[in-house]
Amino acid sequence: MEPGFLQRHYTVERKSDLDIIYGYARVSSAEQNERRQLIALSGVGVPPQNIFVDKQSGKDFDRPQYKKLLAKLQAGDLLYIQSIDRLGRDYAEIQEQWRVITKDKGVDIAVIDMPLLNTKNGKDLLGTFIADLVLQILSFVAQTERENIRSRQAQGIAAAKSKGVRFGRPRRDLPDCFADACRAWRAGRLTGVQAAKLCGLPLSTFRDRAKKFTDE
């Protein structure tokens, strides 16, 4: 074998230091801004080309960029996330994704907002125990807070409705001819299309309001 062959071969195949550091960011809707997460990831040295971002709800966890990231990760890589709830929508999912990344793929995870959650540090038994304990606590807290937010939203909506606040599209004012058009439609003198056109309303809107006309 030619001298130095293995060394040259290893150098070609080995990833560069930049290639082994990745970052993942997620926002729960297209309206939210991921800038804060991107700044945090850049601040710990993740190169822009290695940052994967999903802009959609975690409801079904069908996140295309997250899947691409998982396919790219290799044993020995390091993945940064800003907070633990970026990994999943609830306690069980956070735990499962953590297991897949750290155990199945052999990749380290570092949570920027919680330095104790860095599997690259403290590989001994005590360090692993502390990281696992902190992970369980934080993922439980993340799920509890999410449930509390939903509960407060539901309570706020219920309170607003009790005060007469209406949600959704505002109801269109009915034209003066609506009553006559409605009676003619019910009597068969006008078709639904004709009555709706007379009132300047979409057919579906006319039929919906006509059904409730006696109650108004």
Residues serving a catalytic function are 28
Contacts for 155 with CB less than 8 Å, ≥ 6 apart: none
Q: What CA–CA distance (Å, rounded) separates 101 from 98? A: 5
CA Rg value for the chain: 29
Helix axes 203-211, 192-199, angle to 10 degrees: 100
Helices (H), the chain: 5-13, 35-43, 64-72, 91-99, 125-162, 178-187, 192-199, 203-211
> Considering only CA atoms, which of 142, 118, 139 is closest in space to residue 130?
118
How distant is the alpha carbon of residue 104 from its chain centre? 24
In total, the chain counts a number of residues equal to 216
Helices (H), 46-124: 64-72, 91-99
Q: What CA–CA distance (Å, rounded) separates 178 from 95? A: 59
Residue found by looking up tokens 């999410």 in the block = 146
